[in-house]
Structure 1
């Protein structure tokens, strides 16, 4: 080939190009975005609306349903889900893969704008957002101090602006913060004494807190703007606000109420490592480097610590970059170990350090080139892309091995170094290109795979493809050039490492003997192979299936749910018992964050009856138990805590992909769905492997329903709306105005003393003011009934829905899902009600289906490439018989290692389709070459097999042994690539054995069949 000749004749040019690639690669790797996993494209939009103090039923009817109806016709929407909670509505739209989300958001905004006028008064303007998984915090920093009242002020005024100035930080939110508020606590006896109503005070505060332009006057040749200023400048201004009495007198607000500058009432509490504090959650910019942003924050900690008031300190609670760095380091370590193993394997076979270096140089060149290509294609440096490099490490040298060995052959025939390099590389370059192409084409169908499987593994496919293309170019240019300069002494036989040549001779003799036997017992060989393959299929039920491997990130979440409606004090008392139980885990606990009752991002929708712990364990290398073991032990210990339902779960890379088990129940009535959900929870809890089964429609919150008698209200000149407003003011408070101070704006809230709004008697005795000035007890105007109200109401595609979810115990997802479906099929659901299994189980089924189609297309493309290479349809068909035997290795490997069939393992199967045929190509191609020289078929096979055994062993061993570190899952984050590596290691090992024995037999059978047809055609 011309390229080979040019590289040998112009070595300086090749060296300069290599140096340029190295320089570009170094620059690229410094600028690559580092993350744990590739970006997952989730085409999801959210419409969020608040409707203060409304019950879930009202929110659903008045907010959620109109929004659902308006957006359901937007093009590209697959599913519309809504969640209606007390005071808020969340409508989520899932679009089909490939949808232009920017355009879709515009369409959603137009649809929502059309129904804004139909929303009730008091409903907030709907917010339309793009859901982005990258908006999750990359770090959580706790702030504690000896002055709890100052925590929020210090966090908002000092730390938030400081962190937001750091490079790559998008935003910082404060969880557990206390919002400043001017509280106007009314004295009811004073209100009655002066004849003033709460509405009158609200109007007075609003009127006194106004500024406006009122016109223009002339002064000389200038126009002066007239502006009346009357905004509150101090809390004293609020106290001195004048209120008109019913007798046309005036009093000040301070005569009617106690005005104080304080914080809003909260039913939540945040503890950082056991101390009261606040938590700052740090989000990075979309294109920012996770590790770099976290390093910037960590490096700036000392600076902000020195500026904090005395007694205040910060603690890093969660730092996702730590796990990212450990995972990346472990993969790099595995790459280095795999590279060393490949180097020693080559040294063992080649007996020459120089020859090994010639081949070994293709590895760093390929890796550096891959970094450059990844940078220009926008890929990130993550566990999977680096894992792709580690997996492709052994394959990178395959082309170089074949080229170098052929150069050796010409050198031994007496050709000069230059001529040997040119002739040896030129002759095998087409075959090497074809062989590499068969490996590359298996990734093409991945383009048509959608969803998480594509988002996660397309970058891996690109990394492997880039590395193989780079190594192929190095094989046909760099290797011949270096061979022509460095291998003068390497080709001289000095007798070194004779023991290994002797060992290979014994292996060759043994292989030749076995080959003779299988050629003499062809039927036995074929049927024996079929029996082994069939036997391996029996392992499938014992292997099971899962979506994605779980990784030990060392993050735990403990959820504590007390009885619905429990007070904050009761829940706090339960958490104190939990704290005592958790003390035994202090040796493995690094940091912890507790949120009781709400106020934190993790406790969204929480009430006073819930609490959430987030805990970071020490790295796995510093503890003798896995996160899963600790979760199980902790769960068992916490079940003894009375008064609450407690669940413990681990956070890992698969956590953001939904619950492992999720059952959606749909039907016309929420109440019926709630009952069915309870039955489903009990039913699936009986399934072995189901852990923490819960329903989204757990027991409701106790409610006191106030049924106003419209007739009685009308007798006093009152409407239901007026009565509802007074009740809300009495028990919830009402924002009367805004107060600005130093650029901050806070609410001025009217409320009654807590002791007048805490019991049912306070509700019944509450005085309702009529327009005539009379007062009447609420009990005279309404009936009271205590009921159980829902915490939230869910709908999917405009139909009520309840979700039942569960986590996995000690079984695989596929087996548990099958058992759950069997149990559910035995239930008799009422007419009009149905269930659907979703979550990771649904994603797994869809991904497996897509990958199965990709596998079929990959096999076809491999056959097509070989048909072009051989210019024959029969020989590629013979070679393809090495694929069925791969099943034995794949299933056997997963069974031996105890790993279920997962998406990474399936990707490994697809990769094997392109890898295992390479050895068969080498063998069949050489048999044909010998036969064309006039050698008998039987003798040609006996000669080709042993002579090709050496390069087959070299390429197979380098590929397999380079993956062993990944197969052993050494280091943090290696669990993600382990199934892929195990699949390739065992699949390629077993396939290579069958290739060396079965392919010659199949070759003879098809050759006989061809000859029979040929003779029959000649007779005709």
Structure 2
């Protein structure tokens, strides 16, 4: 080939090009975005709407349903879900994969604009948002000290602006801080004594706290702006504000209220390692590099710590980049180990350091070139793309091995270095290109697979493809050039017998004898293979299936749910009990962060009856137990704590795939669904592998309902609005005005003393002030009733829905789902009610279906490539008989290692379709060459088998052993790639054995069949 001749003739040019590619690769590698997993494009949009003081049923009927109906017609929508709760509606739209979300958002906004007129007048304007997994913080930083108020001030004034200036940071949110407030604690007796109402106080404060523009006045040649200033300059100004009484007298605010400079009553509490703390959650920009942002924050922390008070500590609570860094490092180590193993195998076979160096160079060049291609295609550096390189480490040398072997054979025949390099490389370059193409084409269908499987493994496919293309270019350019310069004395025996050659001779002789036996017992060989395939398929029920193997990231979440309506104080008491149980695990924990009364990391509405723990364990290499083992131990320890429902689970930061099992119950009535969900939870709880089953049906919050009698209220000249306003003022307070100090603005809030608003009797005995000034008991104009408050109402595709979710432990997902479906089928669902399995189980089923189609398409493409190469339809068919035998290896590998079939394992099967045929191609091609030289078929097979055994063993062993570090799951985050490596190692290993024995037998059978057909045609002719 011209390319080969040019590379050998112009070695300096080739070297300069290689150096330029390496330099570009290093630059690209430094600029690649580092992340744990590839970016998952979730085509999801959200419409959020508020409807103050409305019950969930009203929100559902008046807000959620009209919005659902309007957006359901938007092109590309797959599912519409809604949550209607007191005062707000959330409608979530999930679009089909491949939908242009930008255009879809425009369509949704247009539909919402058309629907606004149908919504209640007092409903808020709907806001359309894009949902993105990047909205989760990358780091949480804790600020601890003795004074919570001082910590809040430090966080807001110093840390937030400082951290937001760091590179890649989008925003910083403060949780657990104290919000300053000026309280006017009203004295009910003095208000009545002076005849002053709270409304009168509010008017007095607002009129005294104003700065207005009053026009302008001329002064010489200038116009001076007139501004009347009257804002409060100090707390004393608030105290001294003049209030007019009904009698025309003047008093000061401090005469009827105690003015306090304090903080708003906190609805949440945050504890870091048991100490009250202020927590800062840091979000990165959409295109930000997680590891780089984390490094910038850490460097900034070191810089700003010196300016903090001595009694204030600033520490990292959770850093998502730590696991990313550990995972990337472990994959890099696996690549290095795999490369070293491959080079040792080459050295063993080639018995020459120079020859090994020539082939070994293809590994770093291919890897570094891949970084360049990844950069320009917008891929990130993550455990999957690097895992692709680790998987391809052994395959990168295959093309170079074949080329070098042929060059060496020409050299032994007496050709010069130049002639051996050009002829040897040119002769096999087409076969090498075709062989590499069969490996590459299997990835084409993966690119067209939709969903999460595509998002995750398309980058892996690209990484492997880039590395193989780069290694192919090296094989047909750099290897011939280096061979012509370095291999003058390489691989010479010098009269000595190399021990490995003696071993290989014995292997060759053994293989020849076995080959003779299978050729004599062809039926036994074929039926024996079929029996082995059938027997391996019998292992399927014992292997099971799962979606994607979870990485042991060492993060534990504990969800504490006190009885609905519990006070913050009561929940904190339960948290103290949990803390006492967690003391036994102190050595295993790096950090423990709990948000009491919040919703975990400050996401969602605060609720005083919940608490969320986030525990970061020490790295998996430093502990003997897995995260799941620790989760179950903690669960057994704290599940019996009375007065709360406590759930312990492991977390998957970076790539959360949702709940393993999600049972979606649908039907016309919410109440019936609530009853059904409780029955389902009870039914599946006893299934082996089901862990922490729970229903999404929330308990109603106990509430005191006040029904105002409008007729009685009218008798006193009162309206419902006036009565409601006075109740709110008594029990929640009312903002009267704003007070500004040193650039900060805070509420001036009127509130009654706590002892007048803490008991039910305080509510029942409350006096309502009428317009005439009379004090009317609330119970005279209203009725009281204690009842359960409203709950969140869920709908999917315009039908009521409830979800029952569960984790899975000590068992495969497919087996658990199968038992759950059997249990649900035995339940008597009312007419009109049904269930559907969602969550990871649904994603797994969809992905397996898509990948099965991809596998079929891949096999067809491999056949097409070989048909073009051989210009024959029969030989590719013979070669492809090596594929069924891979089933034996795959099943044995998964069964022996205890790994279920998963998406990575399925990707491995697809890769095998392109890899296993390479050995068969080498064997069948050489048999044909010998037969064209006039050698008898039987003798041609006996010559071709042993002579091709050496390159087949070299390419197979470098591929298999190069993946061993990944198969052992060495280091953090390697669990995701382990099934892929196990599948390829066992599949290729077993298939290679069958290739060397079964393919010659199939070759003879088809040759006999072809001969019979040919003879029949001749007789007819």
For 1:632 and 1:71, the matched residues in 2 are separated by 43
Equivalent position of 1:595 in the other structure: 595
Task: Please give the secondary structure, in 2, of the residue aligned with 1:612.
Answer: strand
Task: Please give the secondary structure, in 2, of the residue aligned with 1:78.
Answer: strand
Q: Which moved more, 1:771-780 or 1:687-696?
A: 771-780
Deviation at 1:623, TM superposition (A): 1.2
For 2:359 and 2:205, the matched residues in 1 are separated by 84
For 1:667 and 1:313, the matched residues in 2 are separated by 53
Q: Deviations over 1:211-249 (max 9, x none)?
A: 444545555555444444443333333333344444454
Deviation at 1:134, TM superposition (A): 1.6
Equivalent position of 2:786 in the other structure: 786
Runs of at least 5 residues in structure 2 that lack an aligned partner in the other structure: none
Q: Which moved more, 1:721-730 or 1:806-815?
A: 721-730
Q: Deviations over 1:514-573 (max 9, x none)?
A: 111111111111111111111111111111111111111111111111111222222111
Equivalent position of 1:410 in the other structure: 410
For 1:507 and 1:183, the matched residues in 2 are separated by 91
Deviation at 1:184, TM superposition (A): 2.5
Equivalent position of 2:442 in the other structure: 442
Equivalent position of 1:729 in the other structure: 729
Task: Please give the secondary structure, in 1, of the residue aligned with 2:182.
Answer: strand
Deviation at 1:770, TM superposition (A): 3.2
* Cα distance change of structure 1 residues 332 and 581 upon mapping to structure 2, 3 Å threshold: same
- Counterparts of 1:497-516 in structure 2, within 5 Å, are 498-516=498-516
Task: Please give the secondary structure, in 2, of the residue aligned with 1:547.
Answer: coil
For 2:875 and 2:494, the matched residues in 1 are separated by 40
- Counterparts of 1:783-822 in structure 2, within 5 Å, are 783-822=783-822
* Cα distance change of structure 1 residues 53 and 756 upon mapping to structure 2, 3 Å threshold: farther
* 1:697–1:790 Cα contact (<8 Å) kept: no
For 2:798 and 2:775, the matched residues in 1 are separated by 45
Deviation at 1:830, TM superposition (A): 2.0
* Cα distance change of structure 1 residues 631 and 599 upon mapping to structure 2, 3 Å threshold: closer
Equivalent position of 1:981 in the other structure: 981
Q: Deviations over 1:777-803 (max 9, x none)?
A: 222222222222244322223332221
For 1:684 and 1:617, the matched residues in 2 are separated by 30
* Cα distance change of structure 1 residues 714 and 1006 upon mapping to structure 2, 3 Å threshold: farther
Equivalent position of 1:547 in the other structure: 547
Deviation at 1:632, TM superposition (A): 1.2
Task: Please give the secondary structure, in 2, of the residue aligned with 1:970.
Answer: coil
In the superposition, the TM-score normalised over structure 1's length comes to: 0.97
Deviation at 1:600, TM superposition (A): 5.2
1:967 paired to 2:967: yes
* 1:664–1:804 Cα contact (<8 Å) kept: yes
For 2:362 and 2:158, the matched residues in 1 are separated by 53
Equivalent position of 1:331 in the other structure: 331
Task: Please give the secondary structure, in 1, of the residue aligned with 2:804.
Answer: strand
* 2:417–2:484 Cα contact (<8 Å) kept: yes
Task: Please give the secondary structure, in 2, of the residue aligned with 1:33.
Answer: coil
For 2:251 and 2:389, the matched residues in 1 are separated by 79
1:106 paired to 2:98: no
Q: Deviations over 1:365-398 (max 9, x none)?
A: 0001001111111111111111000000000000
Deviation at 1:114, TM superposition (A): 4.3
Equivalent position of 2:557 in the other structure: 557
For 1:668 and 1:724, the matched residues in 2 are separated by 35
For 1:836 and 1:356, the matched residues in 2 are separated by 57
Equivalent position of 2:715 in the other structure: 715
* 2:698–2:792 Cα contact (<8 Å) kept: no
Deviation at 1:922, TM superposition (A): 0.7
Runs of at least 5 residues in structure 1 that lack an aligned partner in the other structure: none
* 1:328–1:383 Cα contact (<8 Å) kept: yes
For 1:579 and 1:538, the matched residues in 2 are separated by 48
Task: Please give the secondary structure, in 2, of the residue aligned with 1:837.
Answer: strand
For 1:317 and 1:10, the matched residues in 2 are separated by 58
Equivalent position of 2:154 in the other structure: 154
Q: Deviations over 1:116-175 (max 9, x none)?
A: 566557655544322221221111110001112211111111111111111111111111
1:997 paired to 2:997: yes
For 1:783 and 1:384, the matched residues in 2 are separated by 64
For 2:723 and 2:670, the matched residues in 1 are separated by 29
Q: Which moved more, 1:65-74 or 1:957-966?
A: 65-74
Equivalent position of 2:878 in the other structure: 878
For 2:399 and 2:558, the matched residues in 1 are separated by 52
1:521 paired to 2:528: no
* Cα distance change of structure 1 residues 96 and 735 upon mapping to structure 2, 3 Å threshold: farther
Equivalent position of 2:1014 in the other structure: 1014
Task: Please give the secondary structure, in 1, of the residue aligned with 2:587.
Answer: coil
Q: Which moved more, 1:623-632 or 1:360-369?
A: 623-632
Task: Please give the secondary structure, in 2, of the residue aligned with 1:205.
Answer: helix
Q: Deviations over 1:152-209 (max 9, x none)?
A: 1111111111111111111111111222222233222233333333333334434444
Equivalent position of 2:15 in the other structure: 15
For 1:594 and 1:655, the matched residues in 2 are separated by 22
Q: Deviations over 1:654-684 (max 9, x none)?
A: 8621111111222232222221111111111
For 2:950 and 2:498, the matched residues in 1 are separated by 15
* Cα distance change of structure 1 residues 233 and 48 upon mapping to structure 2, 3 Å threshold: farther
For 1:67 and 1:716, the matched residues in 2 are separated by 42
Deviation at 1:449, TM superposition (A): 0.9
Deviation at 1:267, TM superposition (A): 2.6
- Counterparts of 1:173-212 in structure 2, within 5 Å, are 173-212=173-212
In the superposition, the TM-score normalised over structure 2's length comes to: 0.97
For 2:226 and 2:49, the matched residues in 1 are separated by 39
* 1:738–1:746 Cα contact (<8 Å) kept: yes
Deviation at 1:708, TM superposition (A): 2.4
Deviation at 1:286, TM superposition (A): 1.9
1:466 paired to 2:466: yes
For 1:211 and 1:1012, the matched residues in 2 are separated by 107
Q: Which moved more, 1:250-259 or 1:984-993?
A: 250-259
* Cα distance change of structure 1 residues 206 and 670 upon mapping to structure 2, 3 Å threshold: farther
Equivalent position of 1:676 in the other structure: 676
1:538 paired to 2:538: yes
* Cα distance change of structure 1 residues 370 and 612 upon mapping to structure 2, 3 Å threshold: same
Q: Which moved more, 1:406-415 or 1:692-701?
A: 692-701
Task: Please give the secondary structure, in 2, of the residue aligned with 1:309.
Answer: coil
For 2:495 and 2:954, the matched residues in 1 are separated by 20
* Cα distance change of structure 1 residues 495 and 200 upon mapping to structure 2, 3 Å threshold: farther
* Cα distance change of structure 1 residues 166 and 915 upon mapping to structure 2, 3 Å threshold: same
For 1:164 and 1:715, the matched residues in 2 are separated by 58
For 1:234 and 1:64, the matched residues in 2 are separated by 47
Task: Please give the secondary structure, in 2, of the residue aligned with 1:397.
Answer: helix
Q: Deviations over 1:346-370 (max 9, x none)?
A: 0111111111100000000000100
Equivalent position of 1:273 in the other structure: 273
Equivalent position of 2:898 in the other structure: 898
* Cα distance change of structure 1 residues 112 and 191 upon mapping to structure 2, 3 Å threshold: farther
Q: Which moved more, 1:185-194 or 1:275-284?
A: 185-194
For 1:330 and 1:139, the matched residues in 2 are separated by 22
User: Cα RMSD between the aligned structures?
Assistant: 2.0
* Cα distance change of structure 1 residues 835 and 717 upon mapping to structure 2, 3 Å threshold: farther
Equivalent position of 1:342 in the other structure: 342
* Cα distance change of structure 1 residues 174 and 722 upon mapping to structure 2, 3 Å threshold: same
Deviation at 1:769, TM superposition (A): 3.0
Equivalent position of 1:583 in the other structure: 583
For 2:535 and 2:256, the matched residues in 1 are separated by 88
For 1:61 and 1:727, the matched residues in 2 are separated by 28
Q: Which moved more, 1:549-558 or 1:88-97?
A: 88-97
For 2:656 and 2:533, the matched residues in 1 are separated by 37
Deviation at 1:58, TM superposition (A): 4.6
Q: Deviations over 1:863-922 (max 9, x none)?
A: 111111011111111111111111111111111100111111111111111101111111
For 1:664 and 1:717, the matched residues in 2 are separated by 52
1:382 paired to 2:349: no
Q: Deviations over 1:447-479 (max 9, x none)?
A: 211111111111100100000000000000000
* 1:403–1:476 Cα contact (<8 Å) kept: yes
* 1:927–1:941 Cα contact (<8 Å) kept: yes
Task: Please give the secondary structure, in 1, of the residue aligned with 2:641.
Answer: coil
For 1:51 and 1:183, the matched residues in 2 are separated by 29
Equivalent position of 1:32 in the other structure: 32
Q: Deviations over 1:301-350 (max 9, x none)?
A: 22211111231011111111111111111111111111111001001111
Equivalent position of 2:453 in the other structure: 453
Task: Please give the secondary structure, in 2, of the residue aligned with 1:314.
Answer: strand
* 1:681–1:694 Cα contact (<8 Å) kept: yes
